[in-house]
Amino acid sequence: MSESLRTDQRGRIPFALLGVLLLTSSVAYGAGLAAQGPTEIDRSVERAMDRADGDADAAVRDAVRSAAEDAARDPVTRSNETGVDAVRPESPFRDALRIRIGIAAADRLPEASASVDDVVATPKFETGTGSEPTAENLTPVRELVRIEGVANGTALEVTVENVTVVAERDGEIVARETREVTVTVATPVLAAHERTERFEARLNRDPIEGPGLGRQLTARLYPVVWARGYGQYAGAPIQNVLANRHVELSTNTGILSVQRSTFGMADDRGREGVRTAAAKTALEDLLVPTELEEDRWSDVVLGAAAADDSRPTIPVTDGESTEHTKASTDDGQFEDDENTTLPSETATAATTDTAATTDTATSVPSPNETTSIEVGHTADVAFLDALDRLDDQFRRTYRVELERVVQVTEIETTPVPEPSPPGEPPNASAGNGSPSTSTPAWSLASEKREADHAVVGGTDRRTATDASATQTLERRTWVSRTWIAGNKTRETTATGTTTFRVRIDVSAAHAPTDAAPDRPLSGALDDPALQAASERGVDRLVDDEGGFESIAVRAVRGLDDRDDRTQRSRERVVVHGNPPTDLQNRVYDDVGTLREDVRTVGVDAERGGIATGAETPEAALAAHVEDRRESFVAAPDRYADVGDRARVAVRAAYLEELQRELDRRSDREAETGSALSDVLEEAGAPTTDRLEEIRDGRTAAGEREPESAGGDGPGGAVAFEPVGSPGYLPRTPIDGSHSSVFETSESEENRPVSMTPLATRNVNYFTLPHGELADGIVDRVLGTGRTVTLEQAGRTLSATNETLEHVSDPELRELRGDLAREVEAGMDEVHREADAVLREETDLSPRERREAIAAADRRYDGLGKRAIAVGNGSYADAIAAAAHERTVDDELAVRLRVAVESAAGRETADIPDEPVTDAATRVRAIARDSLSDALADGIEEGSDRAREHWGNDVVAATPAGLPVAPVPGYWYATTNVWRVQVRGTYPRFSVRASGGTAYDGTVEYVREPGPATVDVGGESVTLGETEPVAFETETAIAIAVPPGAGGVGDVDGVADERSPGWKPEE
């Protein structure tokens, strides 16, 4: 509700009166001011506060730069029990840097005081009201300082809270202002630390986790192992495929790659060490590796200048130094981060070319290259199985099924009358006209039925393959009934007649049950063999049953009591034809050709995948043959005749047997793979799955950092140079002559005298002769013990014989005798099996059989060569040739090949590994001494002859590796695995950063073990520890070589090779 002004009775002040009052007051105030005169304003406090505030920014900036230098020189990488709680385990470097900045700010801010007249303004950093940093309150100091990396860590943005400026006059506080100071300082300490941490993390990364040293090791050692492994297989005198000298060199080249990928460049002295070590390693690979000379190796690879840790290589400007550029150019072969070719590989290739024969000298395959796994010997095994089933297949093809159908139809029936009592009633009149009541009525006591069958007419027709007849039969039935009434007996007789029509049909059909695919076949029964068989079948169904009339009578007699007027019965018989005499030869030739075609069918598998167990070529081969089975059977659209079907049936049967054998191979491969994985896992080695992951990751390169960073930062681009002390990490001890880190005089305290910066270990799992792990796998799959095959033992025996031709060694002669007896026992098993085949398949007399086997033996120079021939299949062919002099019977040769392979694979033919190992070890020692002597003489021609002579023989004498699959005749590869472990520590590692600071010089981030301290109010406080750059990683290398020869692996008797720095208990 509103009220109008007219009715509003409240009091009012006129606006005109207010205006007069205001005007009067302003005039009076102005007159008063004019009477006082001019006033002076005191701005000294304000000016002092402004100056101190501005100087505080500069003081904080200076504190940040100083603290960053201290943090780089003495970085905290780990908090410890003796350190302050303010440094947390999860962020030690950043926490320590924040604390350093806070302490430095507390020291420098008071120096930025400003005086104006009698006013002094002083900036301070306080952790609380009126308190400065102390050893006890470093946590608040840390929390009041915030840091953030700028321009990829090449600059720091720092915010310091609680910066208080206090103005005093005559000891009294006249003003106080608290704020936070934020500055950006061009110092790359954070980038240097983070890159070093990243570098260390990559050094510790295994090959599966990602790019790092583990992957670098894999990428470098794979070519080394494959080059030297195939060199050994080809006959080069390589006893230690992978040695720790290769591991050391590969580790250091890998470290250089990790440095380039992390810092943008690599340590120049590391490059120099790699070049020296590579040359030395290559020389040892070319000649005869000798034992590591610990006293000299560090001197060789590090050189006299290694102790100079202060040599600058990066200029302050953005340009790259001449020295660095030259090093990069000279060492260009090490620039490829993932696929570096080591000099030792080149040396190995040269050794291989020198030692290998023309037949075996081939380029070293890559793990990614494929090899073909073929059906091979399995074609023979399946062929004999199919051959043994040949008669059965013919029987199944030449099969005729005949059916006799008898249909009985009732034509006409006069049934037997129903029973009726005799005509004379038993109760006739007694003579007086009244019926007699003394005699009972007639009752049926028994009934007897008899029937007679007679053919009353019919017709019939008959051919060689079928027959038919229609017979009319009459069946007469007599029923004799016996009636009784009291003591009276009566006989009554009744007859009935039934007429039947009996239809008899006999038909024949070709009914094969062979393995041939169903295809049309016209006029099969016109084939003479099937026609004759059909005729025999018709005879069985008609004549042997007494003819049509007998069949008809039996059919009528066998009718059941059904009401059906027509009943039918069937009878079947199967007969087989005799194939023509020339069919077996024709089919044999056809399937023999198929056998040779199938023998070379194969699948491709990556060699590296075979080595790791990832590839399963046997399973792939079985599937491949199964897929091509229809094309191998090659059934026509229409069979030309029965013989054509029989030929296809045997082909199909052969392929069925082949598939069964291939499936067995696949199963054995799976068993071997499973056993391999289990045994590796039990031995602490990488499993097959991990081996494949490692192999797959060896070419996965990581991103490479640019050579400079922070181009858009406040200080410009910064270059980072890693400097290790030493730059190259040897596996031998180093001291003060190699690095200034170490104590060189008694006056230097708390410094180590020496250390071994790198420790290496490589374990070869399947060594001479296959070793315990390989024996374990073979034993799981085959159930054999510690044995080697007859072929492998033969190689060792052959090498032993060759050695004794050049040297006189009583010990080796005795060992040869032991080995020869074992090989001879194995050959006896082969001889017995071969003799059994000759006895079964030929008409040779016992003497002739012995002569044939002896003739085959004479083709080979010695027992060892014969044992080798058993393995490669030539021995069986030699026996077959000797048995037939000029022409070799194909079937006999196949049966002998299969029999000899089977005999050689029996446990009774296996050779115990002890005599093989003993003889091989002695041969190897003699060869090594002979090579060393030849090289010591310095005669190049003699050295070449020594390598050529001792190479193939020694390697062949010392089999190594794991056969896959370990079944005679199915052996398609020999694999081996090395596990490589490395542990390293840089006594001192620094990163020199230049180009990004606002003043001349470089920032050096140093990782040298020791406590990291800071001065707080004159008291030294431990913040934590500086840890050295240390790493530990590992990888695994797998290789696969073709079967035969000496396999692949370390045959120097040292399966577990450890460098001097590897602790025994580890």
Digit-coded pLDDT (tens) for 35-50? 555 555 678 999 999 9
Distance of alpha carbon 436 from alpha carbon 429, whole angstroms: 6
Query: How large is the average pLDDT for residues 71-100?
Result: 93
Q: Given this model, what pLDDT does residue 29 score?
A: 54
Distance of alpha carbon 951 from alpha carbon 947, whole angstroms: 5
- The answer, yes or no, to whether residue 785 has pLDDT greater than 70, is no
Q: Given this model, what pLDDT does residue 877 score?
A: 87
If DSSP codes are grouped into helix, strand and coil, which group holds residue 436?
Answer: coil
Lowest mean pLDDT among 484-493, 612-621, 669-678: 669-678
What are the Cα distances from residue 799, in Å, to 770, 796, 821?
Answer: 18, 5, 16
Distance of alpha carbon 818 from alpha carbon 797, whole angstroms: 10
Which residues partner with 762 through β-bridges? 980, 1057
Tens digits of residue pLDDT in 904-935: 777 777 778 788 878 877 887 777 676 666 55
Distance of alpha carbon 1003 from alpha carbon 1005, whole angstroms: 7
Q: What does the DSSP assignment read for 852-919? A: HHHHHHHTSSSHHHHHHHHHHTHHHHHHHHHHHTTS--HHHHHHHHHHHHHHHHSGGG-EEHHHHHHH
Q: Given this model, what pLDDT does residue 500 score?
A: 94
Tens digits of residue pLDDT in 225-238: 999 999 888 878 78
Lowest mean pLDDT among 161-165, 200-204, 893-897, 1013-1017: 893-897
With a CB cutoff of 8 Å and minimum separation 6, the contacts of 823 are 790, 793, 794, 797, 863, 864, 867, 911
Q: Given this model, what pLDDT does residue 25 score?
A: 59
Which residues partner with 1034 through β-bridges? 981
Lowest mean pLDDT among 65-74, 280-289, 361-370, 671-680: 280-289
Lowest mean pLDDT among 426-430, 649-653, 849-853: 426-430
Q: Among positive and negative, which fits the CA dihedral 789, 792, 794, 796?
A: negative
If DSSP codes are grouped into helix, strand and coil, which group holds residue 316?
Answer: coil
Distance of alpha carbon 699 from alpha carbon 336, whole angstroms: 11
Are 987 and 739 a contacting pair, CB within 8 Å?
A: yes
Query: How large is the average pLDDT for residues 726-745?
Result: 79
Q: Given this model, what pLDDT does residue 354 score?
A: 41
Tell me what the pLDDT averaged over the chain comes to.
82
Lowest mean pLDDT among 236-245, 836-845, 931-940: 931-940
Are 397 and 649 a contacting pair, CB within 8 Å?
A: yes
Are 871 and 789 a contacting pair, CB within 8 Å?
A: yes
Q: What is the DSSP letter of 131?
A: B
pLDDT band of 891, cuts 50, 70, 90: confident
Q: Given this model, what pLDDT does residue 304 score?
A: 41
What's phi and psi for 408, nearest 5 deg?
Answer: -110, 125
Query: How large is the average pLDDT for residues 957-982?
Result: 77
- The answer, yes or no, to whether residue 274 has pLDDT greater than 60, is yes
Distance of alpha carbon 1002 from alpha carbon 984, whole angstroms: 27
Distance of alpha carbon 659 from alpha carbon 650, whole angstroms: 14
Distance of alpha carbon 923 from alpha carbon 927, whole angstroms: 6
Q: What does the DSSP assignment read for 156-206? A: EEEEEEEEEEEEEETTEEEEEEEEEEEEEE--THHHHHHHHHHHHHHHT--
Question: pTM score, two decimals?
Answer: 0.78
Q: Given this model, what pLDDT does residue 873 score?
A: 82
Q: Given this model, what pLDDT does residue 430 score?
A: 47
If DSSP codes are grouped into helix, strand and coil, which group holds residue 323?
Answer: helix
- Between 298 and 220, residue with greater pLDDT: 220
Give the helix/strand (H/E) hosting 708: strand 708-709
Give the helix/strand (H/E) hosting 761: strand 758-764
- The answer, yes or no, to whether residue 601 has pLDDT greater than 80, is yes
User: 């290496």: which residue's tokens?
Assistant: 760
Distance of alpha carbon 761 from alpha carbon 1056, whole angstroms: 7
- The answer, yes or no, to whether residue 138 has pLDDT greater than 70, is yes
Lowest mean pLDDT among 435-439, 487-491, 729-733, 1061-1065: 435-439
Q: Given this model, what pLDDT does residue 681 score?
A: 82
Query: How large is the average pLDDT for residues 748-770?
Result: 78
* Strand 1030-1041 relative to strand 787-788, pairing: unpaired
Q: Among positive and negative, which fits the CA dihedral 649, 650, 655, 659?
A: positive
Query: How large is the average pLDDT for residues 189-207?
Result: 95
User: 């038993």: which residue's tokens?
Assistant: 426
Query: How large is the average pLDDT for residues 687-696?
Result: 90
832, exposed or middle or buried, with CB in 10 Å at 0-12, 13-18, 19+? Answer: middle
Query: How large is the average pLDDT for residues 800-812?
Result: 87
- Between 186 and 955, residue with greater pLDDT: 186
- The answer, yes or no, to whether residue 437 has pLDDT greater than 60, is no
With a CB cutoff of 8 Å and minimum separation 6, the contacts of 949 are 806
Are 429 and 508 a contacting pair, CB within 8 Å?
A: no
Tens digits of residue pLDDT in 927-965: 767 666 655 554 444 445 545 555 555 555 666 788 776
Q: Given this model, what pLDDT does residue 1037 score?
A: 95
- The answer, yes or no, to whether residue 546 has pLDDT greater than 90, is yes
Tens digits of residue pLDDT in 853-887: 999 999 999 999 998 888 888 898 888 888 876 44
Q: Given this model, what pLDDT does residue 597 score?
A: 96
Lowest mean pLDDT among 2-11, 67-76, 279-288, 812-821: 2-11
- Number of C-beta neighbours around residue 461 at 10 A: 9
Q: Given this model, what pLDDT does residue 710 score?
A: 63
* Strand 155-169 relative to strand 119-125, pairing: antiparallel
- Number of C-beta neighbours around residue 644 at 10 A: 18
Q: Given this model, what pLDDT does residue 153 score?
A: 87
Lowest mean pLDDT among 57-61, 716-720, 760-764, 1019-1023: 716-720
Tens digits of residue pLDDT in 458-496: 999 999 899 999 999 999 999 999 999 988 999 999 999
- Between 339 and 815, residue with greater pLDDT: 815
Give percent above pLDDT 90 in the chain: 50
- Number of C-beta neighbours around residue 638 at 10 A: 10
Map out the domains of the chain as residue ranges. 44-187, 194-371+582-767+960-987+1028-1066, 399-419+443-576, 783-958
Distance of alpha carbon 313 from alpha carbon 307, whole angstroms: 15
- The answer, yes or no, to whether residue 1015 has pLDDT greater than 60, is yes
Query: How large is the average pLDDT for residues 578-584?
Result: 93
pLDDT band of 574, cuts 50, 70, 90: very high
Q: Establish whether the linkage from the previous residue to 1036 is cis, with ω within 30° of 0.
A: no
Q: Given this model, what pLDDT does residue 382 score?
A: 93
User: 């590296």: which residue's tokens?
Assistant: 608
Distance of alpha carbon 996 from alpha carbon 155, whole angstroms: 8
Are 540 and 579 a contacting pair, CB within 8 Å?
A: no
Distance of alpha carbon 540 from alpha carbon 546, whole angstroms: 10
830, exposed or middle or buried, with CB in 10 Å at 0-12, 13-18, 19+? Answer: buried
Alpha helices per DSSP H over 513-615 = 528-541, 547-557, 583-599, 607-612
pLDDT band of 893, cuts 50, 70, 90: confident
Q: Given this model, what pLDDT does residue 244 score?
A: 93
Out of 22-31, 58-67, 782-791, 882-891, the most confident range is 58-67
3-state helix/strand/coil string of 506-535: EEEEECCCCCCCCCCCCCHHHCHHHHHHHH
Which residues partner with 498 through β-bridges? 413, 475
